[in-house]
């Protein structure tokens, strides 16, 4: 594709979508950001700042905004899907009539769909069907929007349904402060981005209950084991989970104070009800919804994921976080390496 003629639309004006639209507008002309909220659209046009989700960041003069999905997609050959996972299907069903049939779609969504437990690329392929020849890439890794918007050095991974899709996305997003590595495993990259949010709720709850660094380190390490178990059982590559989209993003989200999922866990650990926590948040904490889909996926694949199970019980069955910790710590003793060399994991 001729880079001089690339026409880009970013679908979703949350903190991450706005950050990446601004990044792309640095050297791509005519980048268009689709904004769902009408009041946010007016604010962006008037102030050139997303003070809902990304306050204090002046947006590039070349970045354009639209509230019309049809306008956002008209003749666009590159789309960036920056939507919460639970609205991807709804928005792209509406978008389908306007989509260019040979577009490149880069998903930066980190979650699983509630009902189907599908990743974003799986949802998109199902919506578009054989009538479209689109290529899909997924970009994920340890990255906070507020830091990337300030050009703080960051490294991420991108995988595609074909090598060309990953390479095009790499070239599109690569900046001196935003290093992008290609990865051949789109399933692993997407699963890593989704599962780490659930583990961040667990790590936050541990901190909220006043446990120490040792407890958090144990959760991160065993969370990585769970992530790898499920991914390998689904056909993802084991090494993906030890890279940027797996371990890298897991560490960041479980330890960084800018993590929304960690903040949810912190408040749960301090005794707040989930409804109260979510009621005070404007931005989406993907791990809350993903925990339900992830637990169902683990059951289907017979993958042992005890931390995931306890997060699900805390969020959806009202289990006390301290009781959940006690149950995790009281499980039968076992060897850390007993399932290292097998793709079959006992319950």
Instruction: Give the active site residues.
Output: 196
Q: Of 153, 140, 164, which is closest to residue 82 (Cα–Cα)?
A: 140
End-to-end CA distance of the chain: 48
Q: 153: burial class by Cβ within 10 Å (0-12, 13-18, 19+)?
A: exposed
Q: What's the token pair of residue 105?
A: 């779609």
Q: Where are the beta strands (DSSP E) in the chain?
A: 8-11, 32-34, 64-66, 78-81, 104-107, 135-140, 154-160, 178-183
Residue with tokens 């301290």: 322
Q: What's the token pair of residue 197?
A: 């949010």
Q: Of 285, 288, 297, which is closest to residue 191 (Cα–Cα)?
A: 297
Q: In whole angstroms, what is the distance from residue 137 CA to residue 87 CA?
A: 18
Is the Cβ–Cβ distance between 321 and 215 less than 8 Å? Answer: no
Residue with tokens 């060399």: 341
Q: 234: burial class by Cβ within 10 Å (0-12, 13-18, 19+)?
A: middle
Residue with tokens 């507008």: 25
Q: In whole angstroms, what is the distance from residue 8 CA to residue 170 CA?
A: 14
Q: What's the token pair of residue 221?
A: 């390490």
Q: Report how many helices (DSSP H) and strands (DSSP E) the chain contains, helices first.
A: 15, 8
Is the Cβ–Cβ distance between 265 and 203 less than 8 Å? Answer: yes
Q: Residues 203, 342, 242, 145: is their CA dihedral positive or negative?
A: negative
CA 72, chain centre distance (Å)? 22
């Amino acid at each position: 594709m001729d880079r001089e003629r690339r026409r880009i639309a970013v679908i979703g004006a949350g903190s991450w979508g706005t950050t990446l639209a601004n990044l792309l507008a640095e050297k791509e002309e005519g980048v268009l950001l689709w904004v769902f909220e009408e009041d946010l659209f007016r604010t962006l046009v008037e102030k050139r700042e997303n003070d809902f989700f990304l306050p204090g960041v002046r947006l590039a003069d070349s970045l354009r905004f639209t509230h019309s999905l049809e306008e956002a997609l008209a003749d666009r050959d590159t789309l960036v899907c920056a939507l919460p996972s639970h609205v991807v299907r709804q928005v792209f069903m509406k978008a389908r009539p306007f989509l260019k049939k040979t577009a490149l779609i880069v998903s930066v969504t980190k979650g699983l769909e509630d009902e189907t437990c599908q990743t974003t690329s799986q949802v998109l392929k199902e919506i578009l069907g054989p009538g479209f020849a689109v290529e899909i890439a997924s970009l994920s890794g340890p990255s906070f929007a507020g830091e990337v918007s300030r050009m703080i050095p960051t490294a991420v991974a991108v995988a595609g349904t074909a090598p060309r899709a990953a390479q095009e996305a790499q070239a599109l997003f690569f900046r001196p402060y935003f290093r992008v590595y290609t990865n051949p495993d789109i399933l692993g990259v997407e699963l890593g981005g989704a599962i780490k949010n659930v583990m961040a709720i667990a790590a936050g709850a541990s901190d909220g209950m006043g446990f120490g660094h040792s407890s958090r380190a144990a959760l991160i390490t065993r969370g990585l084991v769970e992530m790898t178990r499920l991914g390998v059982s689904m056909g993802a590559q084991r090494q993906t989970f030890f890279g940027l989209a797996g371990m890298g993003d897991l560490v960041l989200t479980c330890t960084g104070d800018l993590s929304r999922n960690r903040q949810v866990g912190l408040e749960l650990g301090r005794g707040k009800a989930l409804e109260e926590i979510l009621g005070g948040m404007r931005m989406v904490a993907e791990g809350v919804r993903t925990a339900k889909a992830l637990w169902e996926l683990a059951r289907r694949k017979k993958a042992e994921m005890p931390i995931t199970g306890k997060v699900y019980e805390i969020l959806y069955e009202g289990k006390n976080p301290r009781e959940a910790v006690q149950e995790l710590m009281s499980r039968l003793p076992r060897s850390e390496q007993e399932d290292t060399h097998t793709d079959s994991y006992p319950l």
